[in-house]
C-alpha cells in the first residue's frame, strides 16, 4: 500500500521504506568524506561541506522532481564556490565570506525562478562538446588545486596561485603527508569492486589513513581538519553591496546554471537506471530551495550527485525518502561525531578529491573527439583551457557562442545546398519532365526560385545573392512547398525579393505556403500584395498560368 502526504508533497511516498532506508544510509556514508573534502577545498571549512550536504540533500529530495536523486556538494559547484570565496575575500576581507554565502542564496533563487518559468527542458540543450570541455576543465582544476595539500601544503584559492607555488612545494615535500595522500590514492583506485559496493573506497581510505596518522604520526604537524563546530548551524544574513553586486550576480548565475545542468544530467542518469521519468521544473525548484537554505545557514552549494545517486539506487533507494534519510544521517553525524572528524589529515582529503577530479574528466570523449569532428574537438579543448586558466563563466559563454555559430553554419550549408534558382530546367531532376519542358519553352522568361527545409537567418544572404545573379526574367515563381518554417531574417529577404519583382512590374507566383510560413507571410502583409490566382498549392499550376501570361503578351515585357 502507498501512503501519500497529498496536497503539498503528493510525490513523497512510503511504499519502499526498506530500500529507501538502506539507500539513504549508504549514500550518506559515501557523502561524508566527500562533503568534508569539498568543504576544506572551498576554503570555507569542512563543516560548510556537511551543512551543504544536509540542506541541499534534504530539501532537494523533499521538493525535487527526481525520486531517487541524492544531492549535495559536487566538484563543479565547489570549484565555483572556491573562486567566489577567493574573489570576494580579496576585495572584502571582513564581509567576503558572508557575501559568498549570499551568492549561494541568490543562486538558489535563480534556480527556483528557472523552475517556475519552466526552463528545465532547455537547460540540457547545451552542446556536449561544451559540457565535456567544461567538466574536464573542472576535473583538471580540482587536481591542480589538491596537489599542494596532497604534498602537505596549503595552496592559493585559484589555479594560477596554486601552480605558482609548485616549485616551492616540490622542493620541500612533507614526506608524512605525501605518504598518507599517496596511500589514500592507492586505496581509492585499488579497492576491489565487491568491497567498494559494501564499504565505499573513500570511506575506507579516510578511516585507515586517519588511524595511521594518529597511531604513528601524532606529533608530525601535518595539516588536519581541526576543531569543527558541533550542533545546529547559525544564520548567515544576506550581505549585499552595490560595488560588488555585478560580481555577486555573475557568480550566482553561474552557480544556478551549473547546478541546474549538473542536477538535470544526473536526473537523466537516474531515469535510465530506474526506468522512470523525472520532472525537470520541480527538480529545479527543489534544488533552488536547498541551495537558498544552504547559503542561509553557511553551507556549500550543491546539485544532484551522480555517484551518490547511482549508489542510492543500487542499494534499494527509489523514492524521495532515500535522499531525505541521507541528509538526516549526515545531520546526526554533525550533531554527535564532530570530534571523530577533527584529526583527519588534509592530505587524505586531497587524495580523495584528486580521485574525484580524475573521474570528472571525460576521458572517453577526449580519446575519440578528434575522430568525430575536428571542430568539435577544438571547441572542447578551448572550453577546457578557458575553464582552467580564465574562468568558468567565460568558458561556458564562449563555448556556447562558438557552438551556436558552428551549428548555424552547418544548418545554413544544408539549407543552401537545396536552394535553386532555375530558368531553363536542364539537369534539375527534382522537377517533373512536364515542368522542365515548360521552363525550357519559356527560354529564360520564367525564374523558378526553390527553397527547401527550415529557412534560418543564415540562409537569407544566400537568397539575396542567388536572386541577384538572375536579372533577365519576366515571371518569378517562388516555391515554398518544402519549407516548413521561416526565420524572421529569411522572411525579410523573401519580402525584398517579392517587392523588387513587383516594383519592376514582373508577375509573382507564390507556391505551397502553409502553416507557420503562410501565417508569417500574412502577418507581414505579403500575401495581400498578390492576387488569389497568384497564390497556388503546386508548381505545375504556377508554371501553366505563367505560360498563359507569356502567351498573352503581345511583345516581351520590359524588364
Task: Cell numbers for 247, please give them.
Answer: 560580481
Q: What angle in degrees, to the nearest 10, is found between the helix axes of 96-116 and 280-296?
A: 160
The Cα 308–Cα 329 span in angstroms is 14
Question: Which CATH number goes with the domain that contains 524?
Answer: 3.30.750.24
Nearest to 32 by CA among 289, 284, 205, 269: 205
The Cα 46–Cα 40 span in angstroms is 5
Shared domain for 197 and 82, answered yes or no, is: yes
Q: What is the pLDDT of residue 259?
A: 92
Shared domain for 539 and 461, answered yes or no, is: yes
Domain boundary among 296, 327, 362: 362
Report the chain's C-alpha Rg in angstroms: 31
C-alpha dist (Å) from residue 451 to 59, 112, 369, 526: 52, 43, 34, 17
Domain boundary among 330, 345, 362: 362
Shared domain for 358 and 422, answered yes or no, is: no
Task: Cell numbers for 181, please give them.
Answer: 595522500
Neighbour tally for 200: CB within 10 Å: 24
Shared domain for 353 and 454, answered yes or no, is: no
Number of domains in the chain: 2
Task: Cell numbers for 344, please give them.
Answer: 583527519
Q: Would residue 91 count as lying in a domain?
A: yes
Helices (H), 74-126: 75-91, 96-116, 120-123
Q: Give mean pLDDT in consecutive 10-residue pieces for the chain, a chain of 559 residues.
A: 45 77 85 88 89 95 93 90 90 90 96 94 80 86 89 78 87 92 93 80 89 90 78 82 86 92 86 85 95 95 89 85 93 77 87 88 87 87 90 82 83 72 76 87 85 65 61 83 81 82 87 88 84 90 90 56
Q: Would residue 492 count as lying in a domain?
A: yes
Shared domain for 184 and 291, answered yes or no, is: yes
**What one-character-per-residue DSSP string does 228-259 give?**
---SSPPP------GGGHHHHHHHHHHHHHHH
Q: Would residue 262 count as lying in a domain?
A: yes
Shared domain for 354 and 503, answered yes or no, is: no
Q: What is the pLDDT of residue 461?
A: 61
Distance of CA 182 to the CA centre of its chain: 33
Go through 42-63 and write b for each residue having 16 or more CB atoms within 10 A of its CB, e for each that does not.
bbbbbbbbbbbbbbbbbbbbbb
**What one-character-per-residue DSSP string does 266-318 give?**
HHHHHHHHHT----HHHHHHHHHHHHHHHHHTT----EE-HHHHHHHHHTT--
The Cα 457–Cα 147 span in angstroms is 49
Q: Would residue 125 count as lying in a domain?
A: yes
Shared domain for 337 and 441, answered yes or no, is: no
Shared domain for 357 and 422, answered yes or no, is: no
Q: Would residue 368 count as lying in a domain?
A: no
Q: What is the pLDDT of residue 459?
A: 62
The two counts, helices (H) then strands (E), for the chain are 25, 7
Q: Would residue 4 count as lying in a domain?
A: no
Q: Would residue 409 count as lying in a domain?
A: no
Q: Would residue 380 count as lying in a domain?
A: no
Shared domain for 322 and 452, answered yes or no, is: no
Which range marks the domain in which residue 169 is found?
A: 21-226+242-362
Domain boundary among 331, 346, 362: 362
Q: What is the pLDDT of residue 3?
A: 39
Shared domain for 280 and 214, answered yes or no, is: yes
CB distance 499 to 467 below 8 Å: no
Shared domain for 437 and 354, answered yes or no, is: no
Ramachandran assignment for 255, one of left (phi > 0), alpha (psi -120 to 50 degrees), beta (any other): alpha
DSSP annotation of 524 reads T
**E strands along 462-546, which residues?**
475-482, 507-511, 535-536
Shared domain for 174 and 310, answered yes or no, is: yes
Nearest to 244 by CA among 95, 393, 345: 95
The Cα 443–Cα 437 span in angstroms is 10
CB distance 115 to 281 below 8 Å: yes
Report strand pairing: 446-452 vs 303-304: unpaired
CB distance 19 to 28 below 8 Å: no
Amino acid at each position: 500500500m502507498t501512503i501519500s502526504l497529498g496536497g503539498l508533497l503528493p510525490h513523497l511516498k512510503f511504499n519502499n521504506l526498506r530500500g529507501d532506508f538502506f539507500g539513504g544510509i549508504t549514500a550518506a556514508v559515501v557523502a561524508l568524506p566527500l562533503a568534508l573534502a569539498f568543504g576544506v577545498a572551498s576554503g570555507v571549512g569542512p563543516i560548510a561541506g556537511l551543512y551543504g550536504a544536509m540542506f541541499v540533500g534534504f530539501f532537494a529530495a523533499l521538493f525535487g522532481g527526481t525520486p531517487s536523486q541524492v544531492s549535495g556538494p559536487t566538484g563543479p559547484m565547489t570549484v565555483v564556490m572556491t573562486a567566489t570565496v577567493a574573489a570576494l575575500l580579496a576585495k572584502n576581507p571582513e564581509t567576503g565570506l558572508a557575501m559568498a554565502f549570499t551568492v549561494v542564496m541568490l543562486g538558489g533563487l535563480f534556480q527556483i525562478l528557472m523552475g517556475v518559468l519552466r526552463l528545465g527542458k532547455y537547460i540540457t540543450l547545451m552542446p556536449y562538446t561544451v559540457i565535456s570541455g567544461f567538466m574536464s576543465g573542472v576535473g583538471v582544476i580540482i587536481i591542480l588545486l589538491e596537489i599542494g595539500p596532497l604534498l602537505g601544503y596549503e595552496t592559493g584559492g585559484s589555479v594560477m596561485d596554486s601552480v605558482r607555488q609548485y616549485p616551492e612545494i616540490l622542493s620541500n615535500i612533507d614526506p608524512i603527508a605525501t605518504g598518507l595522500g599517496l596511500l589514500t590514492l592507492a586505496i581509492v583506485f585499488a579497492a576491489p569492486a565487491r568491497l567498494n559496493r559494501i564499504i565505499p573506497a573513500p570511506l575506507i581510505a579516510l578511516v585507515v589513513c586517519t588511524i595511521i596518522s594518529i597511531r604513528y604520526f601524532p606529533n608530525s604537524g601535518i595539516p588536519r581538519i581541526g576543531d569543527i563546530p558541533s550542533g545546529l548551524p547559525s544564520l548567515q544574513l544576506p550581505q549585499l553591496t552595490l560595488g560588488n553586486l555585478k560580481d555577486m550576480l555573475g557568480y550566482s548565475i553561474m552557480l544556478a546554471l551549473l547546478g541546474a545542468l549538473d542536477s538535470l544530467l544526473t536526473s537523466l542518469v537516474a531515469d535510465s537506471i530506474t526506468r522512470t521519468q523525472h520532472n525537470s521544473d520541480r527538480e529545479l525548484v527543489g534544488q533552488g530551495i536547498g541551495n537558498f537554505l544552504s547559503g542561509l545557514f553557511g553551507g556549500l552549494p550543491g546539485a544532484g550527485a551522480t555517484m551518490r545517486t547511482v549508489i542510492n539506487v543500487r542499494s534499494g533507494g527509489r523514492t524521495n525518502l532515500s535522499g531525505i534519510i541521507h541528509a538526516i544521517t549526515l545531520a546526526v553525524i554533525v550533531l554527535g561525531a564532530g570530534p571523530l572528524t577533527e584529526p583527519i589529515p588534509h592530505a587524505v582529503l586531497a587524495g580523495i578529491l584528486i580521485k574525484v577530479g580524475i573521474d570528472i574528466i571525460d576521458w572517453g570523449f577526449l580519446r575519440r573527439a578528434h575522430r568525430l569532428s575536428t571542430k568539435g574537438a577544438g571547441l572542447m579543448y578551448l572550453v577546457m583551457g578557458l575553464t582552467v586558466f580564465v574562468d568558468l563563466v567565460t568558458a561556458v559563454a564562449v563555448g556556447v557562442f562558438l557552438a551556436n555559430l558552428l551549428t548555424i553554419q552547418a544548418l545554413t550549408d544544408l539549407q543552401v545546398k537545396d536552394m535553386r534558382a532555375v530558368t531553363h530546367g536542364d539537369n534539375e531532376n527534382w522537377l517533373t519532365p512536364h515542368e522542365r519542358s515548360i521552363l525550357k519553352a519559356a527560354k529564360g522568361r520564367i525564374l523558378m526560385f526553390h527553397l527547401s527545409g527550415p529557412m534560418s537567418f543564415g540562409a537569407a544572404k544566400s537568397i539575396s545573392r542567388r536572386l541577384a545573379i538572375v536579372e533577365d526574367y519576366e515571371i518569378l515563381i517562388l516555391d515554398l512547398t518544402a519549407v516548413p518554417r521561416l526565420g524572421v531574417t529569411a522572411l525579410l529577404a523573401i519580402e525584398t525579393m517579392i517587392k523588387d519583382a513587383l516594383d519592376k512590374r514582373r508577375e509573382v507566383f507564390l507556391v505551397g505556403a502553409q502553416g507557420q510560413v503562410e501565417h508569417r507571410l500574412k502577418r507581414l502583409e505579403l500575401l495581400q500584395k498578390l492576387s488569389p490566382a497568384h497564390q497556388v498549392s503546386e508548381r505545375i499550376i504556377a508554371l501553366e498560368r505563367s505560360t498563359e501570361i507569356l502567351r498573352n503578351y503581345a511583345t516581351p515585357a520590359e524588364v
